[in-house]
Structure 1
Amino acid sequence: MTVTEEAAPVSHYERIGGASSVKAAVELFYDKVLADPELAGYFTTVDMVGQRRHLALMLTVVLGGPNEYAGRGLAEAHQPLGVTPEHYAMVGAHLTATLTELGVPADVVADVQDVLAQVRGQVVAGGDGADA
């Protein structure tokens, strides 16, 4: 290994264990969301296999892993759903709880929370998307 390779920063994706860790987080996260009576209704007609795959790809990108996501944009996918600010906050809380429960380092959780704050306007109903 060269000095340059040793000095390369390690992504959050690599720090938490890569694809298997992201998959575990997505599985636990959706278990929590689907068990939440306030949120489960958003997913009654959703192909959850595909939904889990999409979130894993998006979370991989957020964590600095390879970008293989080719789905719809956040606003396009979420604006028609009428997501309320309260429900968005609840989803964020479930994601934070999931990552914490899985032992993800606090700085990584904080960075994910920052991204959630940045994209809020694209997801919450009536958001202008200006937060992107």
Structure 2
Amino acid sequence: MTVTEETAPASHYDRIGGASSVKAAVELFYEKVLVDPALAGYFADVDMAGQRRHLALMLTVVLGGPNEYTGRGLAEAHQPLNIPVEHYAKVGEYLTVTLTELGVPADILADVQIVLGQVQDQVVAAGDRSDA
């Protein structure tokens, strides 16, 4: 028997509804982040349309969708911002809350949280990294 599209397991990306669901998640996520006084300053001089595109492309990759991301790497984009671990954790919480509100299944949430843990050191300021 050969594996076909019908018998292959669906990616997390496909399971949550693909591009339209990722776009909805990104919109809802930034609604939360941009009103948080501790986080909003990071985006004061940022092209938010471009930022939303970048996050949608990155989230698509994390969820097993098509990899069309061509932007800077996480460390290159975030290290100059000197992001403390507390702010990184808040962003992760907002992402988790957003995905939960949108009905993303628990197994997918768990996988996203694993990825957040794996990339933390690329985002958080070098002097503020946890060993968790």
Same fold (TM over 0.5): yes
TM (norm. structure 2) is: 0.93
- Percentage identity across aligned positions? 76
Question: For residues 106 and 29 of structure 2, what CA distance do their matches in structure 1 show?
Answer: 17
RMSD: 1.8
Letter in 2 for 1:38: A
C-alpha separation in 1, matches of 2:18 and 2:42: 28
Where relative contact order (Cα < 8 A, 6+ residues apart) is larger, the structure is: 2
The letter of the residue matching 2:8 is A
Shift of 1:3: 6.1
**Counterparts of 2:3 and 2:117 in 1: how far apart (Å)?**
34
- Residue deviations 1:6-57 (CA, integer Å, cap 9, x gap): 3211000000000000000000000100011110011000000000000000
For structure 2, which runs of at least 5 residues remain unmatched after alignment? Answer: none
How far apart, in 2, do the equivalents of 1:31 and 1:78 lie? 20
For residue 97 of structure 2, what is the amino acid of its counterpart?
A
Counterpart in 1 of 2:112? 112
1:91 corresponds to 2:91: yes
| Aligned residue runs from structure 1 range 10-29, under 5 A | 10-29=10-29
Q: Distance in 1 between matches of 2:97 and 2:38?
A: 17
Structure 1 stretches of 4+ moved >4 Å: none
Structure 1 residue runs without a partner (length 5+): none
Equivalence for 2:37: 37
Aligned pair count reads 129
